[in-house]
Amino acid sequence: MKDYTFYKSEAIRLRKQGLSYNEIRKQIKIAKSTLSVWLKHVRLKPEQRERLYTKQIQILSFGPQSQKQRRAREIEQIVNEAGNEIKLPLSFETLRLMGACLYWAEGSKSGMLDLTNSDPHLILFFVRWINSVFGISAKEIKARLNIYPQQNELKIKKFWSDLTGIPLQNFGKSYVKPLSKNYKKHNLYYGTMRIEVPRSVNLRHKVFGWVKKVLEDIDKDVKLKQRKWQSLTKVKRPANL
């Protein structure tokens, strides 16, 4: 049976040292509600109250129940549930249109079929999409890098070659960006990769033909509004200084 007289005096002693209820409970196994009754008349010094307040803010900000942590778990659940809505493997039609829309957003709008990005997932998807849709293997694809002076060009080439299957000899001259004093928020550890498909001008037109077909239902609405707001196209271009 617990000697509550001893526990109460010990709790008061610890509280006078500025300990929180949870810190006291780590030393004496007493319910928090009981501590609240025992210690409600114990006055803390200003510096002790400040310490407990700061500690509570840290718990709310960084603890497992913090808003940031809760939101992270909510997002993880949303992503997982969305993933369950996708049935793999993708049909050829779905794959073709997914790649076409990716190229519409990220690919070159003139010349050969080429696309530049720093995301390894996106680059590998595009290389495999080219193979699946056009029958062009990675060994037939050319590549170039955009990197920073402090980066190891050969190692980065080997990374992308290992990932995509594009032979090292297919990599053209890399573009090395000049040094900048500006702060970089994101480190592009693998540089930026440019995929080039030789003799593919007609393939690029074909991709945009697929995109055009997808947009057929809204094309009339877009053109109608463009005619209505044609005055926006009359603004003079700024001169390069």
What local confidence, expressed as pLDDT, does residue 241 receive?
Answer: 54
Q: Are 221 and 187 in contact (CB under 8 A)?
A: no
Q: Are 106 and 122 in contact (CB under 8 A)?
A: yes
Q: How confident is the model at residue 135 (pLDDT cuts 50, 70, 90)?
A: very high
Secondary structure letter of residue 42 according to DSSP = P
Q: How confident is the model at residue 17 (pLDDT cuts 50, 70, 90)?
A: very high
Q: How confident is the model at residue 140 (pLDDT cuts 50, 70, 90)?
A: very high
| 113 exposure class (CB count in 10 Å sphere: 0-12, 13-18, 19+) | buried
**Selection from 64-73, 105-114, 179-188 with the highest mean pLDDT:** 105-114
Instruction: Report the percent of the chain where pLDDT is more than 70.
Output: 90
Q: Are 196 and 143 in contact (CB under 8 A)?
A: yes
Whole-angstrom distance, CA of residue 72 vs CA of residue 165: 35
Give mean pLDDT, residues 21-36: 90
Q: Is the pLDDT of residue 61 over 80?
A: no
What local confidence, expressed as pLDDT, does residue 117 receive?
Answer: 96
Per residue in 158-181, pLDDT tens? 999 999 999 999 999 999 988 766
pTM of the model: 0.70
- Please, what is the Cα angle at 123 between 137 and 106, to 5 degrees? 110
Give mean pLDDT, residues 209-232: 95
Q: Are 48 and 20 in contact (CB under 8 A)?
A: no
Q: Are 8 and 37 in contact (CB under 8 A)?
A: no
Whole-angstrom distance, CA of residue 165 vs CA of residue 160: 8
